[in-house]
């Protein structure tokens, strides 16, 4: 009895190896990864056109999620994890679940836009407002210097101050322009906001310089800009007029550069004889 027990104890253990995981069907993808990584490994024959299109949509959304939350690891991991789980579900069946994959991508994009859209917009508005405050304070210092310490003539001082106020108005107009835009966002709009979120000062300086350039053209009579009974050329005549024109230029910042470019392109053209 003791001998049998000894033999039973000394019997070698048998390790059963699990068979290798085979793809469900030829031409499918094996999806793996962790964190914000999603790896697609093609196994078997080439996928169909519809399967390739679904893969491209998933890969593109993966890239956009990483770009949108480049500074937020938690959000990046959360949404990349959801996309990875969807991909594993879609590509792990006997046939690729194309309809489920496309519906899942649309739902994930909608969740991102719904949950993150307003937060991204408000974060950008906050940062934009901070830089506008700095820009306006700096411009007001220039205004006060011109008012009390500049050695220009009174007429030239007033004219320069009008351009400073024009600049201030354009900065405020940028804030109003972005804040009053449509409340619904698409993923591409959020990516655009996120891309400019790090350096809004570039946008403000560009718009301010553009407003000054536009003001120079208008003040010299090279372009007639009329708002009802008000001529934009009159902005040099007072604080309110300059501020109003600056606000308008800030509000139309998206089309201002195009308009200015078109006007410059038409300047100096010699009319041809009929």
Q: What are the DSSP calls for 48-89, one per residue?
A: PHHHHHHHHHHHHHHHHHHHHTTT-HHHHHHHHHHHHHHHHH
194 and 73 in a single domain? The answer is: no
Same-domain pairing of 80 and 128: no
* Tokens matching residue 38: 């999603």
Provide the domain limits for residue 78: 28-96
Q: Please tell me the predicted confidence (pLDDT) of residue 184.
A: 64
Query: Is the same domain home to 84 and 141?
Result: no
- Do both 120 and 81 map to the same domain? no
For residues 123 and 197, the answer to whether their CB atoms sit within 8 Å is yes
Using pLDDT thresholds of 50, 70 and 90, give the confidence band for residue 9.
Answer: very low
Tell me if 21 is assigned to some domain.
no
Q: How many CB atoms within 10 Å of residue 258? A: 10
6 assigned to some structural domain: no
Q: Clarify whether residues 148 and 88 are in a common domain.
A: no
Beta bridge pairs of residue 29: 42
Average pLDDT of 189-201? 76
Q: Is residue 215 part of a domain?
A: yes
Mean pLDDT across the chain: 79
> Over 80: is that where the pLDDT of 221 sits?
no
At a CB cut-off of 8 Å and minimum separation 6, what does 189 contact? none
pLDDT at 247 over 80: yes
If asked whether residues 123 and 92 sit together in one domain, one would say: no
Nearest-angstrom CA–CA distance, 150 and 140 = 14
Query: Residue 30: what pLDDT?
Result: 83
Characterise 44 by phi-psi region: left (phi > 0), alpha (psi -120 to 50), beta (else).
Answer: left
pLDDT attached to residue 177 = 85
Residues 146 and 260 in one domain: yes
| Model confidence pLDDT, tens digit, residues 128-181 | 899 999 999 999 999 999 888 877 777 788 888 889 999 999 999 999 888 776
Distance CA 32, CA 244 (A): 57
Q: Is the pLDDT of residue 236 over 90?
A: no
Question: Do 85 and 157 fall within a single domain?
Answer: no
């Amino acid at each position: 009895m003791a001998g049998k027990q000894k033999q039973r104890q000394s019997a070698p253990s048998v390790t059963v190896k699990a068979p290798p995981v085979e793809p469900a069907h030829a031409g499918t993808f094996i999806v793996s990864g962790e964190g914000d990584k999603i790896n697609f490994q093609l196994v078997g024959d080439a996928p169909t056109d519809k399967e390739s299109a679904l893969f491209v949509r998933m890969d593109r959304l993966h890239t956009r999620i990483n770009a949108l939350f480049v500074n937020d690891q938690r959000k990046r991991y959360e949404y990349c994890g959801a996309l990875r789980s969807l991909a594993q579900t879609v590509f792990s069946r006997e046939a690729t679940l194309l309809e489920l994959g496309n519906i899942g991508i649309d739902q994930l994009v909608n969740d991102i836009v719904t949950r993150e859209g307003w937060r991204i917009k408000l974060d950008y508005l906050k940062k934009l407002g901070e830089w506008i405050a700095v820009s306006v304070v700096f411009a007001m210092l220039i205004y006060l210097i011109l008012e009390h310490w500049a050695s220009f003539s009174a007429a030239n001082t007033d004219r320069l101050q009008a351009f400073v106020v024009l600049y201030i108005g354009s900065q405020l107009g940028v804030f109003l322009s972005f804040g009053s835009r449509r409340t619904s966002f698409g993923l591409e709009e959020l990516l655009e906001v996120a891309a400019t979120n790090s350096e809004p000062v570039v946008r403000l300086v560009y718009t301010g310089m553009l407003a000054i350039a536009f003001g120079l053209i208008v003040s010299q009579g090279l372009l007639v800009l009329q708002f009802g009974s008000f001529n934009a050329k009159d902005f040099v005549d007072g604080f309110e007029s300059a501020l109003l024109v600056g606000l308008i230029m800030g509000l139309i910042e998206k089309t201002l550069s195009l308009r200015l470019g078109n006007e410059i392109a038409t300047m100096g053209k010699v009319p041809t004889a009929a």
